[in-house]
Amino acid sequence: MSEKDDRTPDFESEGVAEVNLTEVPSELAILPLRDTILFPHAILPLAVARESSVALVHDAVRERKVIGVITQRDPAVDDPVESDLYRVGTLTHIHKMFKFPDGSLRLVVQGVQRFRLKGVGQYRPFIKASIELLSETVPPEQEIEVKALAQSAQGLFQRVVELSPTLSDELQTLAANIQDPARLAD
């Protein structure tokens, strides 16, 4: 038998249970992302290698907690501080975790809801910050305009799909069935 390749995971773990937004703590572990944005409802694979980020993920999976992800302003920064992070992030559900022999992790995560970063309370062993969940409701006085913009965006997207030889026709149906303007925008 050959030795394990460094890219082969040595165990797989189920992540956090479904997220109940009424039970989200006001202080959350924050996973800084380099060159990646996670939107609410999107499912994304993530590679995690920083020591502090690996510790955060292990804690979240062990304790079955949600985490927050926020994109870094400069991906070259190895130990980001509050000023290196954008102010809006996404509450995140970890679906799966794969551990690799080199100590890095691969995750399958899903964005749940946007939040605003109010302030970082700790940096070690990983970043923890106070947050405020952001509502995605449309003010009543803007409902008509938002609905019109959403319909226009859906129409334009359908036209793009029609004109593109590489995009699947199923994308037209998918976009047409999105009723929530916030989800359509994401």
Can you list the positions of beta strands (E) in the chain?
11-14, 27-33, 43-48, 67-71, 88-99, 105-122, 128-133
Nearest to residue 74, comparing CAs of 66, 83, 65? 83
The answer to the question of residue 2 being in a domain is no
Return the bridge partners of 27, or none.
130
pLDDT at 158: 83
Tell me the pLDDT band of 128, cut-offs 50, 70 and 90. Answer: very high
Q: Are residues 106 and 122 in the same domain?
A: yes
- Asked whether residue 6 is assigned to any structural domain, the reply reads no
Answer yes or no: do 60 and 107 share one domain.
yes
Predicted confidence (pLDDT) at residue 13 exceeds the cutoff of 70: no
Domain boundary among 114, 133, 152: 133
This prediction's pTM: 0.77
In whole angstroms, what is the distance from residue 77 CA to residue 129 CA? 18
Q: By the 8 A CB rule, do 32 and 80 touch?
A: yes
Number of domains the chain is built from: 2
Range of the domain at 170: 140-179
C-alpha triplet 127, 128, 129: angle, nearest 5°: 120
36 and 100 share one domain:
yes
